[in-house]
A and B are shown apart, each in its own frame.
Chain A
Amino acid sequence: MDIKQDLITLFQQNTSVLESGSGKILNNYREQAFRDFDKLGIPTSKNEAYKYTPLDKYMQGNYDMELNANPFKIDLQDIFKCDIPELDTQVVLVLNGFFYSVNQTEQLPEGVVVCGLNEASVRFPDLFHKHYSHYADTSADGIVALNTLFAQDGVFVYVPANKTVEKPIQIINLSHSYKNLRITRRNLIVAGENSRVNLVVCDHTLCQQSYLANSLTEIYAGRNAVIDYNRLQNENHLSIQINNLFVHQEENSRFTSNNISLHGGLIRNNVYATLNGPHSETNLYGLFLSDDKQHVANYILVDHASPNCTSNQLFKGILDDDATGSFNGKILVRKDSQKTQAYQKNNNILLSTAARMNTKPHLEIYADDVKCSHGATVGQLDMEAMFYLRSRGIGEKESRHLLMYAFANEIVSKISIPVLKDRIIELVDKRLRGELSRCSNCDIRCG
């Protein structure tokens, strides 16, 4: 089965429906995306960046696609309620890739916009002309081209200059269908000068189907902007999610992401952070806990395109059973980016002999006055520490748990929203004990 040709045919047959339902600016990019996708196709293992995650293999299978928003007449507010009531957020629901609703718990500061992407593309053409598809390069990756080709909707967040959004904005990606479903999500987050915003993004698969989600988020951080991006990945084990995150940072801005992968059949996270203005800082943290036949891959490119910038990458993984994973972290320091500080660390624990982890740190440095470091480890639990704990009366299982929890906690403890941190600590704790770590209202049949 030629998956590329199938997707091209799918697009050609549905171009008019796709375009009639989308704003002009979204349509403007399809032609280029088509050419790029036609040229690049779906990444295979021959593509160095996808060596351990051959998407052409994972994306096989029959999937339906929804061309219109909301074909299900279901009351999401009724069936879905986030079970962290203390997590006082502005909740944005997205159903099968289409913006569904926003539940505002307080008046947003003047000028702040949280709405559907398609709607926004019509309401805010200037912002879209300036930012939409400017950071995501369709010519570099077929998956990015594919997303742009089919992009119809998603979430748009705009925080104007000098505004602070106190409450986190929580985007919940819901998947609901009675057939396997292909989903395209496209988000754009624009944070103006001196603005601050916290984002929390979660998943919920409400049915036992396989969902193949191609998500792409572009984030623009203006001068002095501070953005926190917390991503909790928790889908059923039949699901495949491919996430592309493009972050473009101006002078003195700070972007911090915490990516926690708990459940999901295949999770591929590509993060491209461009430090475009001096003294900007990017912190990329990630944790994944995988078992069964799960595959979790993190691919990072931090581009130091300005001097005096700082970047930190810390990614950790625990793999059990037949789980496989990969980490591919690249730091690019351009010629004039002097006084760069760039750090990268990737630590992994294998709990079974069948689990496999591939890790590849990659530094490409053209400036001469820089501080860079990288390190990667793949190992087992520390047996000396195990014996120490057991010699104090703590059982083998509990000792393992304490050590795994400590390993994971280095990432979780970096989450800046206390109630979210507590909740994720709980989910990680349950996950490490081998229990389902879904939110309590989620349909467990999904498992």
Chain B
Amino acid sequence: MLEIKDLFVSINGKEILKGISLEVKAGEVHAIMGPNGSGKSTLAAALAGRDDFEITNGSVTYMGEDLLEMKPEERARKGLFLGFQYPVEIPGVSIVNFLKTALNELRKFKGLEPISASDFLKKMREKKDLVGLTTNLANRSVNEGFSGGEKKKNEIFQMAMLEPRLAILDETDSGLDIDALKTVANGVNNLRRKDNATIIITHYQRLLEHIIPDFVHVLYKGRIVKSSGKELALELEEKGYEWMENETE
């Protein structure tokens, strides 16, 4: 589904990612762990198409196509979803209108008619239940006035609404209490299917107690320095990232 080969990314001339290679197949869950500043969020945003990055080398193939050639909206329409570490507040843009517009863009891309108002509301209700979002969304602007936990749940809710093939969740667990963490994890688990894949980016191991990854990668100073099964997460938790530093040097 996704194949990253030797990816180098710079921001303002500073090299952040220094040769990332990663392959994600349908049905898999990958966890990318690493200390602050290792380049995790840069990788997520580069995959989603942020344009303030400079890709200096490497390639990313998504569903057989060159991902790096696509605009952010094209990536989204082809099923890529980024769960933001810091979801953006957009005053004045109603969340209902926003989601409806987004969903209809995706439907248009698939050659489908716009969703009817009643089907849309039904879908909203279903997906809210599925991800355990209890916030009343009527008359609310996108993320405006949402608590940290609500914002994160709202990301998972959007993911449920848009049904991506590849979801990249950037630090979705940060700032969540244990109940919210479980809700978010349940949401992700409920959306897991054979034909989609998830990349979970996290600093801590605790989310991985609830969402069991198939692979764990450690990102350190812009490189993936270790890849293994789910047990790697536990090892990291126990020994800390300094251990990784010693391992790699």
Contacts and interface: CB of A to CB of B under 8 A. Distances in A.
Interface of A: 382, 384-385, 387-396, 398-399, 402-403, 405-407, 409-410
Contacts of B72: 387, 390-391
B88 A394 contact: no
B162 A393 contact: yes
Nearest to B99: A392
Nearest to A383: B52
Contacts, number: 79
A392 B102 contact: yes
A393 B93 contact: no
Given A387-B72, A403-B93, A410-B92, A392 B49 contact: no
B88 A393 contact: no
Given A389-B98, A392-B98, A393-B77, A402 B93 contact: yes
B109 interface: yes
A388 B75 CA distance: 13
8 contacts: A385-B93, A388-B84, A390-B76, A392-B76, A394-B102, A402-B93, A402-B97, A405-B92
B185 interface: no
Contacts of B106: 393
A282 to B, nearest CB: 24
Contacts of B51: 387
Given A393-B106, A403-B90, A387 B50 contact: yes
Contacts of B48: 387, 391
Interface size class of B (residues with CB under 8 A): 20 to 34
Which 4 pairs, one residue from A and one from B, show the smallest C-beta to C-beta distance?
A406-B92, A393-B76, A392-B102, A390-B72
Interface of B: 48-51, 71-73, 75-77, 81-82, 84, 87-88, 90-93, 97-99, 101-102, 105-106, 109, 141-142, 158, 162
Contacts of A385: 88, 90, 93
A405 B97 CA distance: 12
Contact of A384 (B76, B81, B88, B141): B88
Nearest to B76: A393
B63 to A, nearest CB: 15
Contact of B73 (A394, A402, A407): A394
A317 B14 CA distance: 37
Contacts of B97: 402
A390 B99 CA distance: 12
Contacts of B102: 389, 392-394
Nearest to B78: A393
A395 B92 contact: no
B159 to A, nearest CB: 10
